[in-house]
Structure 1
Amino acid sequence: MMVLPFLVAGWIFLVGVYGMVTSRNAIHAIGCLAVAQSSTYVLLLTVGYRRAATAPYFTDTPLRTRVVDPVVQALALTDVVVGATVTASLLALALQVRKRHGTVDPDALTGLRG
């Protein structure tokens, strides 16, 4: 079993989380969240990988042929779509905050404190 893709997924996640924690800009934090979320693509595709396997087309594939898991590929595609939707929604929210308050610095948004 290969460990390197799991380490790469963990490293991408940690880089994204570090960027979110140290960010003083909402746009930068949203970008870092997208980076952290992209680590799940690597993780999902690593879980579904099989050595010496082909694409999961079953119409002309002989029996007993090793194929990669199509469910994991579908989950990765769904993850991409959900990640893009969440990123776009958060960027739209940050744009509205910028229009109303004139800044995207979380420390400067004192009007949002309860």
Structure 2
Amino acid sequence: MSLLPWVVSFWLFAVGLYGIITSRHYVHLIGCITVAQSSTYVLLLSAGYRWGGGAPIFFDHPPGTAAVDPVVQALVLTDIVVGATVTALLLALVLQLHKRAAP
């Protein structure tokens, strides 16, 4: 496994965390939370990747050949869907907060 995905994941998390700490607007805060969450996508996909591995759904692979882990890919897809749902919910809450706080 390469070191590059770990560095990219750490960098994405650091940028998102910096934005969370320094944000003064709720929409910016939600965007930074999304950036910090995207670091988990990179980290999980790099953990389940095998060099030279193919998709495990094909039947023409001989036994014993390397294959990538499909569970990790399913977890990342689930993480993306949950992240999009939470982002939409947070944006709706910010919109309602703005409607109530606006004169």
Letter in 2 for 1:49: Y
Q: Which letter maps to 1:3?
A: L
The number of residue pairs the alignment matches comes to 103
1:18 maps to: 18
Q: In structure 1, how many angstroms separate the alpha carbons of the residues matched to 2:56 and 2:85? A: 27
Match of 1:46 in 2: 46
Percent identity for Structure 1 against Structure 2:
62
Q: Which runs of 5+ in 2 are unaligned?
A: none
* Partner residue in 2 for 1:3: 3
Output the amino acid matched with 2:11: W
CA distance in 2 between partners of 1:44 and 1:102 (Å): 41
Show the counterpart of 1:94: 94
Alignment RMSD (CA, Å): 1.3
TM-score (norm 2): 0.94
Higher-Rg structure is 1
Structure 1 segments of 4+ aligned residues over 6 angstroms from their partners: none
Q: CA deviation at 1:44?
A: 0.3
Residue ranges of structure 1 left out of the alignment (5+ in a row): 104-114
Q: Is residue 80 of structure 2 the alignment partner of residue 80 of structure 1? A: yes
Q: What is the deviation of 1:71? A: 0.6
Shift of residue 56 of structure 1?
A: 1.6
- Is residue 2:61 matched to residue 1:61? yes
CA distance in 1, matches of 2:45, 2:7: 13
Query: Aligned to 2:61, what secondary structure does the other structure show?
Result: coil
Matches within 5 A, 1:21-36: 21-36=21-36
> Larger deviation: 55-64 or 43-52?
55-64
TM-aligned CA deviation for residue 8 of structure 1: 0.5
